[in-house]
Amino acid sequence: MGAVDSVSEHQSRALWLSTIAFTICFAVWTIFAIIGIRIRQELGLNDTQFGLLIGTPILSGSLIRLLLGIWTDQYGGRRVYTVVMIAAAIATYFLTWAHSYSEFLIAAFFVGIAGGSFAVGVAYVSRFYPAGKQGTALGIFGAGNVGAAVTKFAAPFVLVAYGWQTVAQVWALAIGLMGIIFWIFSEEDPIVRARRERNEKPKSAWLELESLKNIQVWRFALYYFFVFGAFVALSLWLPQYLIKVYGVDIKTAGMMAAMFSFPASVFRAYGGHLSDRYGARRIMYWTFLVGVASTFLLSYPPTDYVVKTITGNVSFHLEMGLVPFTATIFVLGFFMALGKAAVYKHIPVYYPKNVGAVGGLVGMIGGLGGFVLPIAFGALADLTGLWTSCFMLLFLLVTGALVWMHVSIRQMERGVVGTALNKLPELPEMEAIHKPEHIGALSGAVLTDWRPDDKKFWEKTGRAIAQRNLWISIPALLLSFAVICPL
Tens digits of per-residue pLDDT, 304-350?
Answer: 888 888 887 888 777 888 889 989 999 999 999 898 888 877 666 66
Q: 174 pLDDT exceeds 90?
A: yes
Check whether 441 has a pLDDT greater than 50. Answer: no
Of 62-76, 347-361, 420-434, least confident by mean pLDDT is: 420-434
Q: pLDDT confidence of 126, banded at 50, 70, 90?
A: confident
Strand pairing report for 442-443 and 446-447: antiparallel
**b/e code 259-288 from CB counts within 10 Å (16+ = b):** bbbbbbbbbbbbbbbbbbeeebbebbbbbb
Residue 26 has pLDDT above 50, yes or no: yes
Contact 175, 23 (CB under 8 A): no
C-alpha to C-alpha distance for 428 and 450, rounded to whole angstroms: 27
Q: Is the pLDDT higher at 17 or at 447?
A: 17
Of 287, 353, 329, 366, nearest in space to 65 by CA: 366
Residue ranges in 385-462 assigned as alpha helix (H): 389-413, 455-457
Report the predicted TM-score, pTM, of the whole model to 2 decimal places: 0.64
Q: What is the pLDDT of residue 433?
A: 46
- Count of Cβ atoms closer than 10 Å to residue 443 Cβ: 12
Q: CB of 74 within 8 A of CB of 16?
A: no
* 236 close to 32: Cβ distance less than 8 angstroms: yes
Nearest-angstrom CA–CA distance, 142 and 121? 9
The answer to whether 54 and 34 have CB atoms below 8 angstroms apart is no
Confidence of residue 175 (pLDDT cuts 50, 70, 90): very high
Considering the domain 9-413, what is its CATH architecture?
Answer: Up-down Bundle (1.20)
Domain borders along the chain are 9-413, 418-484
Residue 468's alpha-carbon distances to 462, 464, 471, in angstroms, are 10, 6, 5
pLDDT tens digit string along 27-48? 998 898 889 888 988 888 887 7
Single out the residue of 158, 180, 146, 161 nearest to residue 27, CA to CA: 146
How many angstroms separate the CA atoms of 283 and 343, rounded? 9
Q: What share of the chain is helix, strand, coil (3-state, %, to 5)?
A: 80, 5, 15
At residue 444, the pLDDT reads 43
Q: Average pLDDT of 151-168?
A: 88
The per-residue DSSP string of 37-52 comes to HHHHHHHT--HHHHHH
Cα–Cα distance, 322 to 333 (Å, whole number):
16
How far apart are alpha carbons 58 and 170 in whole angstroms? Answer: 20
Of 322, 332, 184, 349, the C-alpha closest to 260 is 332
Q: Residue 262 has what DSSP assignment?
A: T
